[in-house]
Amino acid sequence: MSMVDRISGRLSSLSAWLFFATGLMLGWEVVARYVFTAPTIWAEELSRLLLVWGTLAGAAALVHRREHIRITILTDLLPQAARTVLEVFSSLIVAGFGTAVAVYGFDIAWDSYTRGRTTGSMLDVPLAWSQIAIPAGGALLALQSLVEALRCARHGAPAPEHFTEGERVP
């Protein structure tokens, strides 16, 4: 279980760097376009590629840190045992979703790879480069969700998070 956690954590750090690089590329694109009147042919397309990889590589870490969007107004009122059952069930649903994304995403990426599909832009990047992020991210999301389901089944659901009025997001 800790190996999956470590992989998710490392990919989360990589995601942050990919988002940082995207910001630099798009910042340079703005300067190149509006200051030098010389737009790049690479910034928009490469930043899109990095955003796809960054988003999908970081999803599993969000599951591990319990930072995905959650609506807990009713589940926080339940007793510990009921919250545990619901946590395990919802983690298994997410694992099933991640598995489906991995299987069907792989088929799409493989089809693009075998057919030689590209973006059709000036860089003409193979579509499989961005599409393979979908099954990779889905598989890691499924693995991390299974780990969280096991963790919750063993140790119970975490206690509800209570906020004071000053901490609430408006």
Higher pLDDT, 71 or 43: 43
Lowest mean pLDDT among 29-38, 99-108, 110-119, 152-161: 152-161
Query: Which pLDDT does position 128 carry in this prediction?
Result: 94
Give ∠ CA 119-124-129 in degrees, rounded to 5.
65
Query: Which pLDDT does position 164 carry in this prediction?
Result: 54
Q: What's the half-sphere exposure (Cβ side, CA atoms, 13 Å) at 144?
A: 26
Q: Where are the domains of the chain?
A: 2-155
Residues 6+ apart with CB under 8 A from 160: 72, 75, 76, 83
Higher pLDDT, 70 or 106: 106
Query: Which pLDDT does position 1 carry in this prediction?
Result: 72
170, pLDDT greater than 50: no
Q: Helices (DSSP H) in the chain: which residue ranges?
A: 2-34, 43-65, 80-115, 127-131, 133-155
pLDDT tens-digit readout, 17-56: 999 999 999 999 999 999 999 999 899 899 999 999 999 9
pTM, 2 dp: 0.83
Q: Report the length, in residues, of the chain.
A: 170
Give 12's strand partners. none
Query: Which pLDDT does position 64 carry in this prediction?
Result: 87
